Each structure stands twice: as C-alpha cells, then as structure tokens.
C-alpha cells in the first residue's frame, strides 16, 4: 500500500492521463511513495472505494458527468475529508461556491505542470505528520518533520540532523528555511534552523533539545526565537 493515495477524477481521457502522469512524476521527484489512480466519474471512484474515504487527496474536475466534482467534494467533506480536495475546472465561475468546501486549491484548465506541482505541495504540506521537502537541483528530498531535529549550515551546504543520523545537502540554510513550515521551524543562530517540537530548554547562549543535544543561540536571534517558540507552544 502506497504511503499517499491520490484520486484523479476527470472525464476527458487525455487530460486525465496527463494530470495523472504529472502527479506520479512530481511525487517520484520528491521521493514520495504515492499511488495515483484515475477515474472518469464520481460513480467510478465510489466503486473503487470499498471503505470510503480511501484516498488522501482528490483532484476533481468540477464538471463531471453525473454527480459533479463539487457535489462529490461536499460528500467527502461530510465524511471527514476536509482539506483533501484540489478542484480542476475550465471555468472560474464556480470558485466562490467551491471554496465553501475548503479546497486546497482551485486550478483552471489548461493546467500547467508548475501549477499542479504547487497544488500538490500545498496538499503534502498539510499532511500529518508533516514532511519537509528540500529541493537540490532537479531533485527533492523528503524528511519526516517528527524525526528532524535541526539543520546546520556547514561546508557550503546544510547538514540535516535527524533522530537517527544526519545527511548533507548542497543547498543554503536560507533555501532550507524557505521550504520549512514557518510555524514549526525557527533560527536560533545564523547557522542553525531548529525544529521547535524538539526544544526542551532555551538559554541565552544555547538551547537543549529533547534528544540531549545542544545548539548555540546567538544574541541577534535570541528574542525572535523565543517569540517563535511561544507562538508554537500556544497554537
């Protein structure tokens, strides 16, 4: 069973094939084990879901034959699948009504690969436990946030410190910071980006992680880091 299941519902066979293929390519680039299945109607999707809801993400054409994508999204929302839908449509007229079911995104046809990539990233970022995707060249590496302690700038790259080891990526700490959820990661030093979930104690010159490791804290980042940690604890 794939880690992440995606249902693409589209009644145009060429578009259905293209969007599904792009989804597979994008998730493969991220290193995510995703299963992408194609459906031409809501009834075809229902027939495949023995125990609905069975997918993590639904890409729905609003103008499906029979039950519309909007009606299907309402049903999914009622079944607990809120924030699990990306709408794809050739018309902007449904946008206001569509947002009543809290979609992740509303894409207009013809859908470009970059737009689809952005929508999938939004969906993946809402997944729990969170996963941090770091791009390096044309590839992306996925790190479960629950296992990521902190990132350290070193030797013209970043060392990703994990609960079970570490990994080096030839990217800047600034690039990693842009990719990290702003409400879950914060800098305590110009060379360190910390996962706030792992912080045990914070002092003026260093902080202690629940793993027992210590990370330096600089004067310039002390107050902003404290504020970020308070917001994280009070969310």
Name the residue with higher pLDDT: 217 or 82. Answer: 217
Report the range of poorest mean pLDDT among 47-51, 65-69, 186-190, 191-195: 47-51
State yes or no: pLDDT of 85 exceeds 90.
yes
Architecture of the domain spanning 131-234: Beta Barrel (2.40)
Mean pLDDT of 125-137: 74
pLDDT (average), residues 229-235? 79
User: If you average pLDDT over residues 63-82, what whole number do you get?
Assistant: 86
Residue 109 pLDDT class (50, 70, 90 cuts)? very high
What is the CATH code for 4-125?
3.40.50.2300
- How much is the pLDDT for 138? 73
Structural domain boundaries in the chain: 4-125, 131-234
pLDDT digits (tens, 9 = 90+) for 15-39: 999 999 999 999 998 878 899 999 9
pLDDT score at 130:
66
Nearest of 191, 193, 213, 189 to residue 201 by alpha carbon: 213
């Amino acid at each position: 069973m794939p880690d992440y299941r995606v249902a693409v519902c589209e009644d145009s066979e060429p578009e259905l094939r293209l969007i599904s293929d792009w989804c597979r390519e994008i998730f493969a680039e991220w290193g995510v084990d995703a299963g992408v299945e194609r459906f031409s109607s809501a009834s075809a999707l229902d027939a495949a879901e023995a125990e609905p809801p069975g997918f993590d993400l639904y890409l729905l054409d609003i103008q499906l034959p029979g039950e519309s994508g909007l009606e299907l999204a309402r049903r999914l929302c009622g079944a607990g699948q809120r924030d699990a839908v990306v709408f794809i449509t050739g018309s902007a007229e449904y946008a206001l009504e569509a947002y009543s079911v809290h979609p992740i995104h509303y894409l207009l046809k013809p859908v470009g690969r970059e737009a689809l990539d952005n929508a999938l990233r939004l969906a993946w970022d809402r997944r729990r436990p969170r996963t941090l995707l770091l791009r390096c060249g044309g590839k992306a590496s996925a790190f479960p946030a629950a296992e990521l302690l902190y990132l350290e700038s070193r030797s013209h790259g970043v060392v990703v410190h994990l609960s079970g080891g570490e990994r080096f990526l030839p990217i800047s700490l600034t690039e990693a910071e842009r990719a990290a959820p702003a409400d879950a990661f914060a800098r305590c030093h110009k060379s360190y980006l910390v996962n706030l979930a792992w912080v045990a104690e914070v002092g003026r010159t260093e902080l202690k992680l629940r793993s027992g490791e210590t990370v330096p804290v600089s004067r310039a980042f002390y107050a902003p880091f404290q504020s970020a940690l308070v917001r994280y604890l009070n969310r």
